[in-house]
Amino acid sequence: MTALTLSTAGAATLRADAVVVGITKGTGPKGGLVVAPGAEAVDKAFGGKLAGVLETLGASGAEGEATKLPSPSGLKAPVVLAVGLGTAPGEDETFAAESLRAAAGVAARALAGTKKAAFALPVEAAEDVAAIAEGALLGSYAFTAYQDGGKNGKAPLAEIALTGAKPRDKAHKAAVERAIALAEEINRARDLVNTPPNDLYPESFAAVATAAGKEHGVKVQVLDEKALTKGGYGGILGVGAGSANAPRLVRIGYTHPKAEKSLAFVGKGITYDSGGISLKPAGHNETMKCDMAGAAAVFAAVVTAARLGLKVNVTGWLALAENMPSGTATRPGDVLRMYSGKTVEVLNTDAEGRLVLADALAKASEENPDAIVDVATLTGAMMMALGSRTFGVMANDDAFRTAVHETAEEAGEQSWPMPLPAELRKGMDSPTADIANMGERMGGGLVAGLFLKEFVGEGITWAHLDIAGPAYNEGAPFGYTPKGGTGSAVRTLVRLAERTADGELG
């Protein structure tokens, strides 16, 4: 991954291949561009006319914008990259963390193929250091494992030096250390989502988790098909029944000796989703390697919590299966007996994520955590409702739903609270089993949430994140978000663990 350090050198004197500065839209009556704080020395090298030069080149200061220009004499770096920060903050305001994060990501992407860059963006506090570091490290991500020596694209920006921060300040150093750990694990989650399903299947995913557990001192337990059969995990086994790659349930647990609270994260891990017998049509299955993004997020969040040494116990449950059609596959009309003992009539084998999650939720409930949060690319209905950049939040407790939503916003992830209307439960009544895996078509994302709620232990606070939209970016990169796997929900889960450790939740 890209190396990142805090530099004591100034933006003008630091030896680098490029220097990154911020520009904003002026708020005065004349408007115009304004060079953001942190770039004073660079502006001075332009004779105080950097904003005017950039305006001549067509720069507007809008978020997402990047403008390159050659450096004048007086700067060590031969190239200046100006990135838009949007409208300048008011007199008593500071730059929003997400604006800094996105601008740093834009800069890192624009400088792909560059060896070293100095980032001279606005820094007033440790929170600014954290945002810039996160955005730069996430923006420099590239998935090149299957490319021939990087010939099909430029290598990621190799080294970043942040100017304006205080290398000896404990808060600034801690912000960088947290950003590095978080970004490395988010990028690991992205790698998992981007890995082709012929290489990432339940057994190989479990092996990745086991290796990470050994590296970071996290306990990992893997239930293979024999253990799943013995334990009665009918949901996970039913979904995986049609595949030559047998399912797995992975428990990854981090404990802190002084922890007073415990969290359980549960992730949907369908390493490839063909839809099963209810086969997806062409045009809907090409990206279905991403259907394990929830499990990747849970895995990354637990490892990050361990690396940060958070004072909270965090357990991750990865419900891994491959949903394929075959002579042994579960059929529409089959009834599965779940780990909880409930029976489920399978009306649609493409509603499989809720089946593996149901078993994992029931198992996680046995440990009686203070809260459970599941993460899943669960429904197309949630994408229809919220689009491709926002995930839905449902819960059995309104206060907890609000807390999760606020935590996501604080972490820089777009989310929206969604209801669980009781009247939709009746649509899942089955004449054959305790419940069906399908209900009313309208409000399908909410129906899926109501199904999951049935398998959460009595009295346990629970939230469900449907990340079907933001988990996989099929469009062009933006901000610090690449094309492909995004690592959606990792930051939310980590921040939730931090808030719990600090006594802010529960």
Residue in the structure block whose two tokens are 């907890």:
400
Distances (CA, A) of 389 to 245, 324, 385, 474: 32, 28, 11, 11
User: What's the one-letter identity of residue 116?
Assistant: K
3-state secondary structure 355-387: HHHHHHHHHHHCCCCCEEEEEECCCHHHHHHHC
Q: Which residues are paired to 250 by β-bridges?
A: 222, 318
Q: H helices within 309-430, ranges in order?
A: 353-365, 380-386, 398-411
State how far the Cα of 122 lies from the Cα of 83, in Å rounded to an integer. Answer: 12
How many other C-beta atoms are found inside a 10 Å radius of the C-beta of residue 240?
A: 32
Q: What is the DSSP letter of 423?
A: G
At 347, list the tokens: 């009306």
Taking Cα atoms as reference points, which of 457, 293, 302, 431 lies closest to residue 369? 457
Distances (CA, A) of 396 to 219, 228, 313, 439, 442: 29, 28, 22, 19, 21
75-107 burial, b at 16+ Cβ within 10 Å, e below that, comes to: bbbebbbbbbbbebbeeeeebebbbbbbbbbbb
User: What's the one-letter identity of residue 263?
Assistant: L
3-state secondary structure of 484: strand
Is the CB of residue 259 less than 8 Å from the CB of residue 312?
A: yes
Taking Cα atoms as reference points, which of 480, 457, 461, 306 lies closest to residue 399? 461
State how far the Cα of 254 lies from the Cα of 425, in Å rounded to an integer. Answer: 35
Is the CB of residue 72 less than 8 Å from the CB of residue 44?
A: no
Catalytic residues: 280, 354
Distances (CA, A) of 208 to 187, 272, 300: 14, 17, 11
Residue in the structure block whose two tokens are 């954290």:
130
Taking Cα atoms as reference points, which of 235, 234, 291 lies closest to residue 267? 291
Phi and psi angles of residue 227, each rounded to the nearest 5 degrees, phi first:
-65, -35
Q: What is the DSSP letter of 324?
A: -
